[in-house]
Chains A and B, each alone.
Chain A
Amino acid sequence: MSEIAAKAVVTRARRRLWRSRILPYLLLQALIVTATILGLQLLHPNDPEDFAVSAFTLREDGTTRPVTLPHFTASRYSLADPPLYTSAFTFRPADAGSGWSVYLPRFSNAVEVAINDVIVLDSRRDAVANRPDRNTPEIATIPSSLLHDGANRITVRLLVWGPLKGFLDTIYIGPDEAVRPAYETRTLLFVTLPVVFSAWQSLLAVILAIMWLMRRREPVYGVLALGMLVGAVQAFVPPPIPPAPYPRLAAILLASAPIESALVVAFAVLFFGWRWPRYGLLLFVPGFAILLVGLLASQPIPRIIFLFLGVPTVGICLMLLAVIVTRAVIKRQDAASFTFGCAVTIVLVCWFHDMFSVFEIIPEERIFVTRLSYSAMLVAIGAGLTWRFARALNQVDSFAGQLVARVREAEERLTASFAREEARARAAALANERTRLMRDLHDGLGGQLVSIVALSERGHEGATITDAARAALKDLRLVIDSMDDIGGDLMLALGSWRERATAQLRPHDIALDWRVATPQGLPLHPELRPWHVIQIVRILDEAVTNAVKHAEARHIAVSIETLDGAHGPYGVISVTDDGKGFALAVNGASASAGQTARGLRNMRSRAARCGAVLDLTSDASGTCVRLQLPQRFPDSDAAAG
């Protein structure tokens, strides 16, 4: 099995899928085309044929000939000497419940109607009627004083501004109540409906623009908002009548259609998630070219350019749109692209219809429906987007709900794990404390009790056993005492030590001189732990014991002071005695020399464990043990060994 063969299989499968999807879609579009054509035929309003006036005499360029309406005249660029249609109609006052009216369903570009040589209607005064893309009808009531019984004359000047050909549809003259309904129907279809659509469109433009402003990451909204804005401006700005006071405005109006259609293509590309191609900007070139020409050149060149550049651009954009949407339908198979595709097909059919009507392939008719269907399509798109936005909001809501639930879950888990962790930490702290307590008991009490046992077994009596037992009790009290919470105030521990030391020294008749520099005594140490206290008290105990046992001191002074260091205050505890010093003891009594040395080593290691500095000076006049406390007691018992 070669890779190529495998690829071929995949390609074939893909092609089959493609075909299976595109065929139903194309069939559906064919159905929609048919339906649209039928719809357009049905849409064509019925006119009151009983009152039709279609046989006219046309005087054009100095020649006169009979014509039948609807009639196309040649395209022209001058308003001077317009084609003049003349006809006669019969007025029968018996028919008239009310007055008579003249009704013109369709004309381009403007008309001036005179009855019996009195002008009753000039469509140029109606801004909406001047739009060639709207199929605006006109109606005028004929003052009864103008009408004679029997034959009357109607003259119609058709004002044409190229490049389109002039067109005049059949004219209806009759009683007002007979012709007005047809006029109302046309007004509703071709005047009111576009205004409604345009209003809708401008609202959507605002909404989409706000959406885009709040979500700059999604240019799709911005593009559509811009498209709708251009359309809305085009719909509401009154078109200039030649000779226009603002010819530049006309340029903007002319350029709007191609720019708008290019924007819609851009929207479709972005909406269906394609990357915007680099040459995509070419699509905007015709629109801006028309704008440029409109701004620079005077009429009728911009109009000609529009006809030959703008209108095809719109068509090309529509076809591009159809292709893009078809691909999207095949790929995504979702409701949005299906709907969009059908809408595009309808607009495309309408565009072809208008083209056929411009080139007179559809005879005797000039009704442009592209703008109308296009507006409807945009409105549909806008509604769809709003729907999508609302759905997205719902998703966000449910997502937020899920998020809240998840956060709560996580929080619960975290709380549980935190509680577990806390319990573990507590257990660990307890175990640590127990270990230290065990070590402290082992260091002091254990050894002393063993020593008592040993002494008792060897038959010793009296003082030695008593001393050992007293030492054991003292140590037990020390351990119990240092377990107490003293809130970081070492003075509270030293207070009970002073009592114990005084009691210890009293039988030896040694005075304990207690000097505290300030009432506060030592700085507070919130980080002070029981094991720090035990070490410090043991150092002091050792110093006192050495003074009593080995130095034969008579006075022991303990001084406590707080000094100011570079990083804050620190405490110093000094134990000074007036004994003979341990240097002499080392030389003198060899038995106690080893003990003293061990005692000193112990003191130093205990000081190191608390981060304290031990200074020891000793001479024949006495010994001074100076314990400089740290500014901060160490957390861990790292130096323990």
Chain B
Amino acid sequence: MTEQGETGEAITILLVEDDAPTCWRLQDALVKAGYQVRTAGTLGEARSALGNAAPRVLLTDLRLPDGHGVELIRETRLRFPDTEIMVISALGDEESVITAITVGATGYLLKDAFPTDIATTVRDLVAGHSPISASIARFIVRRTQGTAQGAAEPPPGPVLNTARLTPREIDILWGIAKGFSYAEIASHLGLSRQTVPGHIKNIYRKLEVHTRSEAVFEAVQQGLIKL
């Protein structure tokens, strides 16, 4: 069985993970699901892999031996805007995931996820459904609350600009954070169930820091790049 994109070609995935067993595990699950997977153990390897051709999906760990996954995500985002990017995380902690989202990642994949879940997540991603976890949604809505209250000092954690989110998008995030399904959220908010994924995609785009200088500034702010 081979997963195919809209053009009928096999979907290519670049998997960047320095821990070999984890890498095998994810690769196995994806290959079994019919994806074409290339792997890289370091930032350097990933860059050279990207030099050849743009993958449809980039799955990357954040802590790599020779650098930070955020740099890779940002580069990929700039060079290949059509590539879907997802972070691989052991714990799905907001700190690293939110940082990745601001440079262009869409959600995260838990390293210990069941193989079927891994395949499903990637399939949804390619289909244009951007998954967002309850804890990430929670982090974002808590941050919108923090800015709404006009707190004097910036809240801890990564810098996140929530100013561009519409009240409706924030309502959707609240629903996700509280564990409601898309259908429940849609019925609470008087929406069509089908429009919810689109809203979520918009949320991801709005949280992204767009220009290169903005990205560098954010990275410096977060201490990811030392000047």
Residues of chain B within 8 A (CB-CB) of A514 are 179-181
- Asked if A495 CB lies within 8 Å of chain B CBs, one says yes
Contact check, B112 vs A470: say whether CB atoms are below 8 A apart.
yes
Which listed segment binds B: A47-55, A189-197, A479-487? A479-487
Contact check, A477 vs B92: say whether CB atoms are below 8 A apart.
yes
Whether A484 touches B94, Cβ cut-off 8 Å, given contacts A496-B135, A506-B116, is: yes
Within 8 A of B (CB), among A463-493: 469-470, 473, 476-477, 480-481, 484-487, 489, 491-492
- Asked if A519 CB lies within 8 Å of chain B CBs, one says yes
Interface size on B, residues (CB 8 A): 28
Residues of chain A within 8 A (CB-CB) of B177 are 491-492, 495
Within 8 A of A (CB), among B120-145: 133-135, 137-139, 142, 145
Tell me what chain A mostly uses at the interface: helix, strand, loop, or mixed. Answer: helix
For the complex, give the distance between the alpha carbons of A476 and B91 in Å. 8
For the complex, give the distance between the alpha carbons of A494 and B179 in Å. 7
CB closest residue in chain B, given A466: B112
Contact check, B138 vs A486: say whether CB atoms are below 8 A apart.
yes
For the complex, give the distance between the alpha carbons of A436 and B113 in Å. 28
Output the residue of A469, A486, A495 with the most chain B CB within 10 A. Answer: A495
- Asked if B57 CB lies within 8 Å of chain A CBs, one says no
CB distance from B225 to the nearest CB of A (A): 26
CB distance from B19 to the nearest CB of A (A): 14
Contact check, A507 vs B114: say whether CB atoms are below 8 A apart.
yes
Within 8 A of B (CB), among A494-528: 494-499, 503, 506-507, 514, 516, 519, 521
CB closest residue in chain B, given A499: B134
Output the residue of B114, B135, B176 with the most chain A CB within 10 A. Answer: B135
Residues of chain B within 8 A (CB-CB) of A506 are 114, 116-117
- Asked if B178 CB lies within 8 Å of chain A CBs, one says yes
When the two chains form the complex, which single residue of B175, B179, B181, B188 contacts A496, counting CB atoms closer than 8 Å? B179
CB distance from A482 to the nearest CB of B (A): 11
Output the residue of A470, A481, A491, A519 with the most chain B CB within 10 A. Answer: A519
For the complex, give the distance between the alpha carbons of A480 and B95 in Å. 11
Contact check, B114 vs A481: say whether CB atoms are below 8 A apart.
no
- Asked if B93 CB lies within 8 Å of chain A CBs, one says yes
- Asked if B45 CB lies within 8 Å of chain A CBs, one says no
Indicate with 1 or 0, residue by residue over B64-105, a CB within 8 angstroms of chain A CB atoms: 000000000000000000000000001111100000000000
For the complex, give the distance between the alpha carbons of A491 and B175 in Å. 10
CB distance from B41 to the nearest CB of A (A): 23
Contact check, A492 vs B91: say whether CB atoms are below 8 A apart.
no
CB distance from A260 to the nearest CB of B (A): 72
For the complex, give the distance between the alpha carbons of A428 and B133 in Å. 34
Residues of chain A within 8 A (CB-CB) of B110 are 503
When the two chains form the complex, which single residue of B94, B113, B116, B138 contacts A492, counting CB atoms closer than 8 Å? B138
Whether A487 touches B179, Cβ cut-off 8 Å, given contacts A498-B134, A519-B188, is: no
Contact check, B134 vs A485: say whether CB atoms are below 8 A apart.
no
Contact check, B135 vs A491: say whether CB atoms are below 8 A apart.
no
Counting residue pairs across A and B whose Cβ atoms lie within 8 Å, the total is 72
When the two chains form the complex, which single residue of A473, A480, A486 contacts B93, counting CB atoms closer than 8 Å? A480
CB distance from B103 to the nearest CB of A (A): 22
For the complex, give the distance between the alpha carbons of A519 and B187 in Å. 10
- Asked if B214 CB lies within 8 Å of chain A CBs, one says no
Contact check, A492 vs B117: say whether CB atoms are below 8 A apart.
no
Contact check, B114 vs A491: say whether CB atoms are below 8 A apart.
no
For the complex, give the distance between the alpha carbons of A514 and B183 in Å. 12
CB distance from A555 to the nearest CB of B (A): 16
Contact check, A491 vs B179: say whether CB atoms are below 8 A apart.
yes
CB distance from B124 to the nearest CB of A (A): 14
CB closest residue in chain B, given A516: B180
Within 8 A of A (CB), among B176-215: 176-181, 184, 188
CB closest residue in chain B, given A473: B112
For the complex, give the distance between the alpha carbons of A530 and B133 in Å. 20
Contact check, B135 vs A481: say whether CB atoms are below 8 A apart.
yes
For the complex, give the distance between the alpha carbons of A495 and B188 in Å. 16
Residues of chain A within 8 A (CB-CB) of B90 are 473
Contact check, B135 vs A497: say whether CB atoms are below 8 A apart.
no
Residues of chain B within 8 A (CB-CB) of A487 are 142, 145
Residues of chain B within 8 A (CB-CB) of A499 are 133-135, 179
For the complex, give the distance between the alpha carbons of A477 and B91 in Å. 6
Residues of chain B within 8 A (CB-CB) of A496 are 133-135, 138, 179
CB distance from A448 to the nearest CB of B (A): 13
Indicate with 1 or 0, residue by residue over A327-357, a CB within 8 angstroms of chain B CB atoms: 0000000000000000000000000000000
* Cβ contacts A to B, 27 pairs, < 8 Å: A473-B91, A473-B112, A476-B91, A480-B91, A484-B138, A492-B134, A492-B142, A492-B177, A494-B178, A494-B179, A495-B178, A495-B180, A496-B179, A498-B134, A503-B113, A503-B114, A503-B117, A506-B114, A506-B117, A507-B114, A507-B116, A514-B179, A514-B180, A516-B178, A516-B180, A519-B180, A519-B188
Given contacts A469-B112, A480-B91, 8 further A-B contacts (CB under 8 A): A473-B90, A484-B94, A484-B139, A491-B177, A494-B179, A503-B113, A506-B114, A514-B179
Query: Chain A: residues with CB nearer than 8 A to chain B?
Result: 469-470, 473, 476-477, 480-481, 484-487, 489, 491-492, 494-499, 503, 506-507, 514, 516, 519, 521
Query: Chain B: residues with CB nearer than 8 A to chain A?
Result: 90-94, 110, 112-114, 116-117, 133-135, 137-139, 142, 145, 175-181, 184, 188
